[in-house]
Amino acid sequence: MKKGWIKIYENTVTNNSNNLKTSIIIPCFNEEKYISKCIDSLLDNSYLKNLIEIIIIDGMSKDNTREIVKKYTTQYFFIKLIDNPKMITSIAMNIGIKEAKGDVIIFTNAHSIYPSNYIEKLIFWLKKSGADEVGGIFITKPGVDTVIAKTIALVLSHPFGVGNGLFRIGIKEPVYVDTAPFAAYRKEVFNKIGLFNERLVRNQDLEFNLRLKKAGGKILLVPDILIRYHARPNLKGLFKENFYNGFWVIYGTKFAKNLFSLRHLVPFFFVLSLCGSLVLSFIYRPFIYLFVLALLISYLILNVFFSLEISFQRGFKYFIPVMLSFATLHFSYGFGSIGGLIKLLWERVKKVIL
């Protein structure tokens, strides 16, 4: 991507001249704390209201989410509420695609707040770049106003926490990538390569984007398209979310070939090596040195180093919470991947036995 592309947008007066009908799809479940802020931020966008529709696909929420959304549907004719009784995100996304009347489809998240030029910028970059998909950068915010919530937001934006996930750690110039969050797609893309894989409970976007790239499609990540994303508010929520993300990276291979890149397997190999060397040490004692020195201590040193780095910037009260947040993020994903592998292997064994 050429330097200075950001200035192309800054020096161009779009004024909604793109005239592309846009469908915004929001899959949700039990989002009463966030859904209003999400919808309000989309309503505050500069894009003309007669060019957008907002389709909210609800997984039969048990809190007040549905009641909140219904108030919006009575006030705004272009907002719709559709049921998703199967409660699977990939199914919700496909329901939205089939319902959408726009030339462009934007997938959003109820946990996020979008800037006033969000839609306009996505449409602009789709047209200017010729990409099939355009997304932006996460500005990760705490789920609540606590130290632990703030540290979770910090580690989800740090290279030691999320590796080279560019949409989380940021970029300076637009760049073509493997995946982009809450992105805008040309609707014709779904006619070309199909819909999201409904057998995947998680990571359906990773699989779709890898399939898109394999078909010759281009995914553009733009640094000045900023999305305020609210992270999980506590370690329990962080563990649960990342455990299932890790689980479906491995178990999902049962339903899809193109599901992950190498970076998604780093926590899996780390935790597997840690557990494996510990178990083998009971059989052959020298493996304990691999467990303690090569794995446990090396990880601890890295965790302490980066936790101190953040603490020097934010204050020493963040040191222990940051260490715990890093460890929770890495180990939950790794153990989830191992769980996915165990289930995958067990199902194959059962097939042979039965």
Domain boundaries along the sequence of the chain: 5-232, 254-353
Spell out the long-range contacts of 76-82 with Cβ–Cβ below 8 A and sequence spacing 24 or more: 76/43, 78/49, 78/50, 78/52, 78/53, 78/54, 79/39, 79/53, 79/54, 80/53, 80/54, 80/55, 80/56, 81/56, 82/55, 82/56, 82/57, 82/58
Between β-strands 184-186 and 133-141, what pairing exists: parallel, antiparallel or unpaired? Answer: antiparallel
Helix H or strand E encompassing 226 = strand 219-230
CATH code for the part of the protein at 5-232: 3.90.550.10
Q: Determine how many CB atoms are found less than 10 A away from the CB of residue 115.
A: 19
Site of tokens 């010759």: 216
Cα separation values, 243 from 7, 202, 281, Å: 40, 11, 26
Tokens 């990880």 locate to: 299
Find the largest Cα–Cα distance for the chain. Answer: 71
Task: Using the Cα atoms of residue 244, residue 250, residue 256 and residue 257 in order, give the sign of their dihedral.
Answer: positive
- Look up the pTM and report it: 0.84
For the chain of 354 residues, list the mean pLDDT of each consecutive stretch of 10: 49 55 95 94 92 96 95 95 95 96 94 91 92 92 91 93 85 89 92 94 89 92 90 93 93 82 83 81 75 76 94 92 96 95 91 76
